Amino acid sequence: MCAHKPVHVTKLLRADLEISSQQLKTVPGLKIVHLFRDPRGQLNSHLHTAWYPVTETKLNSVREDVKVVCDRMRRDLEIAKQLVKDFPDRMKILQYEDFTDTYEKVSLLYKFLDMNFTNNTRHMVLELKGVGRDKNAGFHPFTCRDTLPWSNVDIVNKHCRDIYRELGLTEFTNEQDLRDESISPITNSLPYAL
């Protein structure tokens, strides 16, 4: 069935962008959308994924996970920025936190990918929005502010400070500010917004 469709989409988790970038040079119709996420949100996701081997109380495992995540993000950011210059119509950098206005952003993403934003797609996007701040309902990119232990955030701060700056995210220097929702998690604007 897929062979007869005009667009094929593949979601790759934790793929190395350097390897993917080679395909842009050899597959003319290929487009790559690379999604970056706040490393605190990534850690929070890892901690709440049953099969992922990291737990919030084992700080050494948290520290190792954070180092790997942020090293990969540094490398991918450098490669992604170059690919956007080399392939501006085929490479896009996005930020997970930019999808708080899901409907508009998903329609822009579909346009970039030359895909039709149908009524079925609209319905699916509206369901993603969910209600409230229940971590299991809808899309809430900043739930780590409520759920991630401060000791874990402090580890991310030490290893990923430069990533925050690159992604336009606020570095919270104490737990009170982290939990204070009147303080924006975004410094000015997201540099890789759609």
Q: Residue 181's pLDDT is what? A: 93
CB atoms within 10 A of CB 17: 20
Instruction: Give CA separation, 167 vs 7, 24, 99, in Å.
Output: 30, 24, 14
Handedness of CA 160, 175, 98, 53 (dihedral sign): positive
Task: For residue 19, name the pLDDT band (cuts at 50, 70, 90).
Answer: confident
Instruction: Give CA separation, 34 vs 41, 139, 161, 182, in Å.
Output: 16, 19, 21, 30
Burial class from Cβ neighbours inside 10 Å (0-12, 13-18, 19+) for residue 150 reads: middle
pTM to 2 decimals?
A: 0.84
What's the pLDDT tens digit per position in 122-153? 887 777 665 444 445 556 788 899 989 999 99
What's the pLDDT tens digit per position in 78-135? 999 999 999 999 999 999 999 876 778 888 998 999 888 888 888 877 776 654 444 4
Domain map (residue ranges) of the chain:
2-179
Q: How far apart are CA 104 and CA 46, in angstroms?
A: 28
CATH number of this structure's domain 2-179, picked from the four choices 3.50.50.60, 3.40.50.300, 3.30.1490.20, 3.30.1330.10:
3.40.50.300
